[in-house]
Structure 1
Amino acid sequence: MSDNVQERVERLAIPIVEDLSLELVDVEFKKEGHNWYLRVYIDRDQDDQGVDLDDCASVSEKLSEALDNHDPIEQAYYLEVSSPGAERPLKKEKDVYSAVGKNVHVTTYAPIDGEKAFEGKLTDFDGTTLTIETKVKTRVVTKSIPYDKVAKARLAIVF
């Protein structure tokens, strides 16, 4: 099979989370020590409500049944279903659009103006460029970051 575990699990998980009016944020399949972990991150797409324990339990139960029926993973693993947390990753373009007006942390593959990490308010995203307002001492500086240069992006909590 040409696709990987994450893609196979995503195909099983998407209808389950959408049926519960939730969103699939990410799927990870990692070996930690001697054990494999399948981590499924879910969120509520509307009103910044987030998910609760009941949402995670519902998805876990239904996804576990689907995984048992389709058996897309050869080795033993632990299934974990949870919220992506307050510093949710911005994996897809639609996630970045949704983050406009919020604080973000962005790292790039290569330095831009000598920097590879940027944190501040995402003021605009046009599909090709992120515009972030950052503070340098007492000044507000606007940085333009090409989307194709973004290695990772996530929401950021400001204290």
Structure 2
Amino acid sequence: MKKRRVVDIVRDIALPYCVENKLDLIDVEFVKEGSIRYLRLILDKEEGISLDDCSLVSKYLNKKLDSIDPIEENYLLEVTSPGVERELKRDTDFEKFKNSKVNVKLYTPIDGEKVFDGILLGLENKIVSIKRSDDSINKISREKIATIRISVDF
């Protein structure tokens, strides 16, 4: 039997608690940054995530993870909001943030560009449509997009 991935185990533990507390579990990451491993949960809710929301999930998850101990290595638990320049990860994100300004990074260039900005027109049949500043429209397979984030001018 294949060993279950840490993110899958954590998602299975956290999701019911998040649903019960009306929190949207956007993503679970288990990543190494420098010499430190991070177990990162990204949460959201309609009115925005508070520090109390993050703290509640962190305490719950710490207790659960300590009892079953599924992670062999040392790590830091981080429970956070997606932020204003959030990455769009789920199909529902593409609908929710339709007509928003986005920054797109591709795995391989299209017409010589790997990074560009535009307005998100939507996602249909795994194709993302972006309207560029010159009013041209790029239709890009979601598989070719490394990241797509909300872009905010400060």
Scaled by the length of structure 1, the TM-score of the pair is 0.85
Aligned-residue offset at 1:34: 4.2
Query: Aligned-pair RMSD on alpha carbons?
Result: 1.8
User: Is the 1:127–1:147 contact (alpha carbons within 8 Å) kept by the matching residues of 2?
Assistant: no
AA aligned to 1:86 is V
Q: State how far apart, in whole Å, the 1-side matches of 2:139 and 2:31 are.
A: 34
Q: Residue 154 of structure 1 aligns with which residue? A: 149
In the comparison of the two structures, how many residue pairs are matched? 153
Q: Residue 135 of structure 2 aligns with which residue? A: 140
In the alignment, is residue 40 of structure 1 matched against residue 41 of structure 2?
Answer: yes
User: Is the 2:91–2:123 contact (alpha carbons within 8 Å) kept by the matching residues of 1?
Assistant: no
Q: State how far apart, in whole Å, the 2-side matches of 1:107 and 1:78 are.
A: 28
Q: State how far apart, in whole Å, the 2-side matches of 1:77 and 1:156 are.
A: 30
Closer/same/farther in 2, CA of residues 61 and 117 from structure 1, 3 Å limit: same
Closer/same/farther in 2, CA of residues 98 and 34 from structure 1, 3 Å limit: same
Q: Residue 78 of structure 1 aligns with which residue? A: 76
Residue 140 of structure 1: SS of its match in structure 2? coil
User: Is the 1:132–1:144 contact (alpha carbons within 8 Å) kept by the matching residues of 2?
Assistant: yes
In the alignment, is residue 2 of structure 1 matched against residue 39 of structure 2?
Answer: no
Q: State how far apart, in whole Å, the 1-side matches of 2:6 and 2:41 are.
A: 12
Q: State how far apart, in whole Å, the 2-side matches of 1:100 and 1:79 are.
A: 32
Q: State how far apart, in whole Å, the 1-side matches of 2:118 and 2:26 are.
A: 22
Identity of matched residues, %: 40
Following superposition, which runs of at least 4 residues in structure 1 exceed 4 angstroms of deviation?
none
In the alignment, is residue 11 of structure 1 matched against residue 12 of structure 2?
Answer: yes
In the alignment, is residue 94 of structure 1 matched against residue 92 of structure 2?
Answer: yes
User: Is the 2:37–2:76 contact (alpha carbons within 8 Å) kept by the matching residues of 1?
Assistant: yes
User: Is the 2:104–2:149 contact (alpha carbons within 8 Å) kept by the matching residues of 1?
Assistant: yes
AA aligned to 1:36 is R
Scaled by the length of structure 2, the TM-score of the pair is 0.88
Unaligned runs of 5+ in 1: none
Q: State how far apart, in whole Å, the 1-side matches of 2:150 and 2:34 are.
A: 29
